[in-house]
């Protein structure tokens, strides 16, 4: 009964989405009503705490890039160009305490946690030999996940599917460490067929929004093609698309190419205004 009530509530929200104003750039779907089941402030507070712990652990292992590290300076410069482009996608982003850090780790990875907490691993810069334009595409993609509140959406969806949505203090206790059984359930959602296509959609959306952010900041969106060509080479032997929660590199390249006509004018305008 509780699960049915939750889905009825979410369905009602989805049935009457707010109209989207005409705009230049990429087109993505409405924000998910599932995210509304979990307070944004609590998600961002949790991310802040986890991010601080990540940096602390890295510092203890001498793996945290210093403020004077050339790659840290580079990443923060690129971020400073991208961040002002984010506000139209999520008004909360204006008040986020953005941070950008570099971790020395042999992983081709980067992320942006809710609230604008960005991390790049050194391997993604070294092994892929990324240009500034390609870094901007990676960073824009990760920022897009935060702007579109995909983590919050996944939490909300897990809440609904598990029949645990009780708005208020219960939500906070469920998702931020008091109930190990539930947090374990949420952690396993990536393997759930119910969320498989949803996760692919998130990645595609982040690719497109990230490409627009980069273009508006004056970074060449065509670099998304070369980025994913490099990623494909670095991830040989990866599982086929239907076994993965992420779109295949060829699919991502096709989506980027299909949307280039929508963002190239934004890039050209940004270059002209420099």
C-alpha 76/C-alpha 68 separation (Å) is: 11
DSSP structure class, residue 215: H
The torsion region of residue 16 among left (phi > 0), alpha (psi -120 to 50) and beta comes to beta
Contact between 223 and 136 under an 8 Å Cβ cutoff? The reply is: yes
Phi and psi at residue 170, in whole multiples of 5°? -60, -40
Residue 272 burial (10 A CB sphere; 0-12, 13-18, 19+): exposed
Distances 79 to 1, 65, 176 between C-alpha atoms, Å: 46, 16, 29
Q: What are the strands, taking DSSP E only, across the chain?
A: 99-103, 110-113, 117-121
Phi/psi of residue 219, nearest 5 degrees: -105, 140
Helix (H, G, I), strand (E, B) or coil at 236: coil
Query: How many beta carbons lie within 10 A of that of residue 119, not counting itself?
Result: 22
Closest CA to 64 of 55, 73, 72: 55
From the number of C-beta atoms within 10 Å of its C-beta (0-12, 13-18, 19+), residue 8 rates as exposed
Q: Which position among 44, 99, 142, 149 bears the catalytic label?
A: 142
153 flagged as catalytic: no
By annotation, the residues acting in catalysis are 142
């Amino acid at each position: 009964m509780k699960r049915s009530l939750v889905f009825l509530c979410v369905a009602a929200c989805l049935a009457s989405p707010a109209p989207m104003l005409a705009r230049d750039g990429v087109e993505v779907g409405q924000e998910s009503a599932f995210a509304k089941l979990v307070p944004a402030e609590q998600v961002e507070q949790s991310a802040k705490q986890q991010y601080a712990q990540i940096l602390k652990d890295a510092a203890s292992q001498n793996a945290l890039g210093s403020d004077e590290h050339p790659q840290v300076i580079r990443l923060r410069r690129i971020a400073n160009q991208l961040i002002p482009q984010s506000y139209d996608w999520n008004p909360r982003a204006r008040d986020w305490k953005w941070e950008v850090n570099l971790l020395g780790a042999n992983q081709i990875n980067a992320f942006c946690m809710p609230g604008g907490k960005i991390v790049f691993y050194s391997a993604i810069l070294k092994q892929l030999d990324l240009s500034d334009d390609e870094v901007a595409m990676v960073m824009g993609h990760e920022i897009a996940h935060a702007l579109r509140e995909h983590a919050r959406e996944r939490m909300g969806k897990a809440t609904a599917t598990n029949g645990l949505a009780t708005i208020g203090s219960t939500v906070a206790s469920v998702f931020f460490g008091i109930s190990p059984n539930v947090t374990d359930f949420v952690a396993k959602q990536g393997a759930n067929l119910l969320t498989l296509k949803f996760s692919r959609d998130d990645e595609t959306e982040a690719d497109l929004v990230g490409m627009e952010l980069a273009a508006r900041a004056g970074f060449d969106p065509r670099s998304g093609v070369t980025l994913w060509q490099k990623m494909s080479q670095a991830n040989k032997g990866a599982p086929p698309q239907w076994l993965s929660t992420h779109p295949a590199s060829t699919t991502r390249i096709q989506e980027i190419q299909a949307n280039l006509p929508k963002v190239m004018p934004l890039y050209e305008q940004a270059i002209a205004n420099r």
